[in-house]
Chains A and B, each alone.
Chain A
Amino acid sequence: DTAVSQTPKYLVTQMGNDKSIKCEQNLGHDTMYWYKQDSKKFLKIMFSYNNKELIINETVPNRFSPKSPDKAHLNLHINSLELGDSAVYFCASSQDSGTEQYFGPGTRLTVT
């Protein structure tokens, strides 16, 4: 009965590779997000989707491409991984932009 789930939980890969992180929510929410949390614990929004439509894209390099096949899923694909991409990536969902956001367990990405 997990509300927001992400896979994988850990991802270790080399520079230059392409990888994907998957997110699913079973709360029936309309809005989903991707956040990046760096080593200093800063939580920064990357993308927001509402009903499969992109509504926020925060100056993220175009190596990052989100995809929402349906309202319950928001995946993140990253091309040509760089060392600076190492972080914890959190998916979240909410009913709308002004309500509580529920976070997934996070994906710790390490680029070597």
Chain B
Amino acid sequence: GENVEQHPSTLSVQEGDSAVIKCTYSDSASNYFPWYKQELGKRPQLIIDIRSNVGEKKDQRIAVTLNKTAKHFSLHITETQPEDSAVYFCAASIIQKLVFGTGTRLLVSP
């Protein structure tokens, strides 16, 4: 069925450390994989996305990798800062919609 699993559910790191969030999807036809950041009380906002014809994409401290064979994709944040603290959602396009993962609460301690 349509399923996107996301791990871990919570992640605590020290400022300056790296953070990695992993997702797996079930539909091999999925071809678009966005990542959203949601700060407390705010709307989800896109931070990076990747399409199935690309294996990796980077934007400053944020990178996303995609393994189509294994149906895995991951978000990597380097040199984390307290303002990176938020809930992060992965998503996969499945039949005209996005199916979201269950979210990862990232806490970056100064």
Q: Is A99 an interface residue (CB 8 A)?
A: yes
**Option from B45, B96, B100 in Cβ contact (under 8 Å) with A43:** B100
Contact yes or no, B46 A100, CB < 8 A: yes
| Interchain residue pairs A-B with the least CB separation, the first 7 | A103-B43, A97-B96, A43-B100, A98-B32, A41-B103, A98-B93, A103-B44
Taking CB atoms and an 8 Å cut-off, the chain B residues in 29-45 that contact chain A are 31-32, 34, 38, 42-45
Q: Binary interface profile of A, 69-102, with partner B (CB < 8 Å = 1, else 0)?
A: 0000000000000000000001000000111111
Residues of A within 8 A of B89 (CB): 43
Q: Which residues of B contact A104 (CB under 8 A)?
A: 43
Q: What are 11 pairs between A and B in contact, CB < 8 Å?
A: A41-B38, A43-B44, A43-B103, A56-B97, A97-B96, A97-B97, A97-B98, A98-B93, A100-B34, A102-B46, A105-B43
Report A's interface with B, CB cutoff 8 A.
33, 40-45, 48, 55-56, 90, 97-106
Excluding A42-B103, A101-B46, A105-B42, 15 further A-B contacts by CB distance (< 8 Å) are: A41-B87, A41-B103, A41-B105, A42-B102, A43-B44, A44-B100, A45-B98, A48-B96, A56-B96, A90-B43, A98-B31, A98-B32, A100-B46, A101-B34, A102-B46
Place the interface of chain B in its size category. Answer: 20 to 34
A97 and B87 CA atoms in complex are apart in Å by 23
> How many A-B residue pairs lie within 8 Å, measured between CB atoms?
47
- Chain A residue with the shortest CB-CB distance to B87: A41
Contacts of B96 in A (CB 8 A): 48, 55-56, 97
> Cβ of A90 and Cβ of B97 under 8 Å apart?
no
Residue of A nearest to B98 (CB): A101
B86 to A: closest C-beta gap in Å: 11
Question: Binary interface profile of B, 79-110, with partner A (CB < 8 Å = 1, else 0)?
Answer: 00000000101000100111110110100000
